[in-house]
Structure 1
């Protein structure tokens, strides 16, 4: 049985149908391209303009005064190398904790089936309905004076790592993927004498690379784009992240240099998406069907 579409194959085979189809297709693709790439082009081109041209009205689409030195000036004045290294340190530290603890939580809920496992999963998913801003105050008070150990974690990477570990969405994503793994495969490993930890390490993790890649990208991007929490917990300028550092130094910097710094700050996440976009889509759809 043929699939139903907006335009039947007979109409599409006619010359008029082809013209209408390709015209609509070109308009839609061009429109979406301008919507998504327009702001990106404006940001990159504004980094090459001087301070007067970048604020003039109406704006110029092509820089009249081409100044590539704005990017090198922004790199030196705002000390972007230090901010970039700080952000990478926080991001990959959070990634390591999430991969270890979230995978363990998802695997236990999926395969070890603990008592009240469904209730625990339901309470985890319920936290997704709580706005992140509501948790800022209790999290800050906890970081300010951690219970039991009585330690202040301000200006410490632990203030960034610990709140990012328990990510309910990543745990649910991993659990759905682990649920789709055939039980016969795990039973065969168990019959060969493999412990649950060995099954996880030697069987489950090697075939879970797509979803692990998605979780890794989400973890890195989540730390990279976060602003409010690092601003509260990292008051020391030498330990701030990229977004917070640029914001702190933005008052005494020309607008064109500031835009150049923002462009540099957005390049790593753009490259991460362009390189791993197939992994993101395959990982998000993985586990949707069992078998």
Structure 2
């Protein structure tokens, strides 16, 4: 039997194993967890309760944690004045289209780089990763000029869903995540499919994609959230078909504070619900590609 090794810590293992040490450990751990939870949850708590308060309660000093007379009037006012049903539909269309395009093109790019091994594949991947070093704001002007006059076909894509969908197609980070996962798939499995007569596309559809659900879930969440939270690009490209973020910001100067906070809370619910439902997929997808069994 190999000798068991211990890591040096501030408190020795023998002291931690005593009843007093265990009590102190669990108390310290509980305080740390409660403090971290309060720090992360308090902004959302303030946002959720702000819509139930009056405008006077929101600006009162010292702040009021809970409303004295809760009312849903601010939420209904925000929903009606903002036209949140239309804003929500616009955002769903943009996010859904971006999701479909990213899944199709990012999966195809990652699969070809991982398993088909094209010429200069490593250089292509390196160039894609290098593009992540460019700040997104530096690309706004050239992207905007491009969508105003699309090369070759000379189409103006402004105020169309394509102006949101097309720039999101080539996502280097998602291609990298997918490639890392595809690299972990044994080549013997693909060789067996080739022996049975399956081509590259059939192998991708029948074998690779079914076992890639965790990472596909992660990429899907990233694609939806990226469009959902984007502000600058929809502001300048689709002013006639606003997203939730742009619509709430546009009406911010003409709405009471409690109605504005209520609208922000309603706009944040879909992404929060998406995370709570698929949080297991996020962790599984981010870790499974780096572990080989």
Unaligned runs of 5+ in 1: none
In the alignment, does 2:283 pair up with 1:281? yes
Normalization by structure 1: what TM-score? 0.96
Find the aligned partners of 1:72 and 1:13 in 2 and give their Cα distance.
Answer: 56
1:123 to 94, 103, 127: 127
Find the aligned partners of 1:264 and 1:3 in 2 and give their Cα distance.
Answer: 50
CA-atom RMSD in angstroms: 1.2
Is the alpha carbon distance of 1:256 and 1:159 closer, same or farther for their aligned partners in structure 2, counting shifts above 3 Å? Answer: same
Aligned to 2:143: 139
Aligned to 1:48: 52
Correspondence list, 1:243-282, <5 A = 243-282=245-284
Q: Deviations over 1:122-153 (max 9, x none)?
A: 00000011100000000000011111110111
Find the aligned partners of 2:164 and 2:171 in 1 and give their Cα distance.
Answer: 13
Correspondence list, 1:81-100, <5 A = 81-100=85-104
Unaligned runs of 5+ in 2: none
Q: Deviations over 1:202-244 (max 9, x none)?
A: 01000000000000000000000000000010111xx111000
Matched position secondary structure for 1:146: coil
Aligned to 2:30: 26
In the alignment, does 2:181 pair up with 1:205? no
Matched position secondary structure for 1:166: coil
1:2 deviation in Å?
A: 5.9
Is the alpha carbon distance of 1:77 and 1:122 closer, same or farther for their aligned partners in structure 2, counting shifts above 3 Å? Answer: same
1:19 deviation in Å?
A: 2.3
Find the aligned partners of 2:81 and 2:126 in 1 and give their Cα distance.
Answer: 48
Aligned to 1:11: 15
1:109 deviation in Å?
A: 0.5
Find the aligned partners of 1:143 and 1:55 in 2 and give their Cα distance.
Answer: 43
Find the aligned partners of 1:45 and 1:122 in 2 and give their Cα distance.
Answer: 47
2:42 to 38, 41, 47: 38
